[in-house]
Every structure is written in structure tokens, then in C-alpha cells.
Amino acid sequence: MGLFNRIGTLLKANINDLVSKAEDPEKILNQLILDMKEQLIEAKKQVAVAIADEKRLKKQLDNELHMAREWEKKAMMAVRAGRDDLAREALQRKTEHDKLASEFQAHWEAQKAASDKLRDSLRQLNNKIEEAKRRKNLLIARQKRAEAQKTIQETMSGLNDTSAFDTFDRMSQKIEQMEAEAEASAELAEGMSGDNLASKFEDLEVDHGADEALMALKAKMGMGQQAEQKFEFEEKQEKKQSVPAGRGTWDTEDF
């Protein structure tokens, strides 16, 4: 093989490879359907012409048959009138029209057979186009499903790569370190804020507020100062009753 032949073969191979990669099944299938529809339109035109020729031949056949019958009637009329000479001429004309009718009959039958065959071919072509449309939709659906599956597989393959998860773990550790440093800085700032005098006063205010809330609750429940004195008196009476007889121990607060 010569150098130029090898170069030509290489160029053809590269071009075929590029064409194969550039082929989009959906676009190609749609174009095929368009081509088939154009062929169907041309086929319909041809069938229409064939049908028109068939009808024209049929009219000519009918006309020749009609003329043959008319000359036969005229021959019969001439016979009744005793004009055999005219009858002979009329029969000759009838024979001519019969001969033409026979020829038109043969042409018409042949044309009708061709037209019927073209009609059948046209129906078959139309059925094939409809089937191609259905197959096209099915093939395009399969193509879309295959593309989606391929995309999902590629995405899953990318997720299976541990480098992405390693990066997530490293970022998580970095954020945890930043949070720990922030907490340490806050503790150091609190420890270096002096004698915390302000915080002590804040605690005192909280305790005072709690005492006031308790007193308000007791007042609401009728447990004011009188209730507290009654409670103290009842407590002293219980203590007196608990002292054994003969001991004679008295609380100075009883007098």
C-alpha cells in the first residue's frame, strides 16, 4: 500500500470516527421519519397519476363500447328501412369501435392492476412509517433512560472517590479546632476580668429577686406575718407537750 493510500485510509477512518461520535440517535431518527414522510408524499403523487390514467382509460373504454352499441342500433334501423348498404357501413363502424374497445379493455385492466398494486404498496409504506414512528418513540425513550443511568453511574463513581469524604472529615476537624480555641479564649477572658465584682452584684440581685417573689407568693396564699406568728406559737405548744412530767422545765418565753 502506497503512502497516499495509507493517508487516505487514515483520513476516512478519522472522519468515520468523528461522524460516529457526532451521531445523535434522536436527531437521526427524527430525520429518518421526515425522509419517510417525503417519500410517502411522492408515492402518493405517483399513485394519484396511476389512478388518473386508469380512470381515463376506463372512460375511453366506456365511450368505445357506447359507440359500438350506437352503430349497432343504426345498423338495425337501416335493416328495418331496407337499406342493407347503410346497415353494412354501420356494422363496419361498430366493428371498429369494438376493436378499439377491446384494446382499451386490455390497457385499462393492466392499468387497474398496476394502480391496485401501487395502492397496496402505498398502504404498506404508510404502515411502515407509522411503525417507524412508534419504534422511534420507544428508541428515544430507551436512549433517555440509558443517558440518565449513565449520568447516575458517573455521579456514583464520583461519590465513591474517598478524596471528597476525606476533605469533609478534614474540614470537620478544622471547625472543631476553631470551636475549641474560641471556648478557650472565652475562658481566659473570664478569668482575667478582675474580682468579678459585677457578676457578684448580678448574683445578689437574682437572689433578692427570688426572695421578693417568694414573699409575694406567701402574701397571695394568706401566709403573711400573722400566719408566721401562728405557726411559731403552734410549734412552741408542741415542744411543751413533749417535755416529760416532773422535769419542770419552762421556757422563759411562756411568761
Radius of gyration of the chain (CA): 59
Query: Residue 76 corresponds to which cell in the numbers above?
Result: 338495425
Strands (E), the chain: none
CATH topology of domain 24-157: Helix Hairpins (1.10.287)
State residue 92's pLDDT score: 94
Look at residue 188 in the predicted model and tell me its pLDDT. Answer: 75
pLDDT at 40: 86
d(CA 3, CA 9): 10
Instruction: List, for the chain, all residue ranges whose pLDDT scores fall below the cut of 70.
Output: 1-23, 158-165, 190-214, 222-255
3-state helix, strand, coil in the chain (%, to 5): 90, 0, 10
The SS3 call for residue 86 is helix
Give residue 195's identity as a one-letter amino acid code: D
pLDDT at 104: 92
Q: Which three cell numbers stand for residue 140?
A: 428515544
Which pLDDT value is given to residue 97? 93
Q: Is the dihedral of CA 81, 83, 86, 90 positive or negative?
A: positive
Task: From 112, 161, 125, select the one nearest 33 (Cα to Cα).
Answer: 125
Give the residue carrying C-alpha cell 401562728: 230
Res 94: pLDDT: 92
Tell me: the pLDDT tens digits for 123-137?
988 898 888 888 888
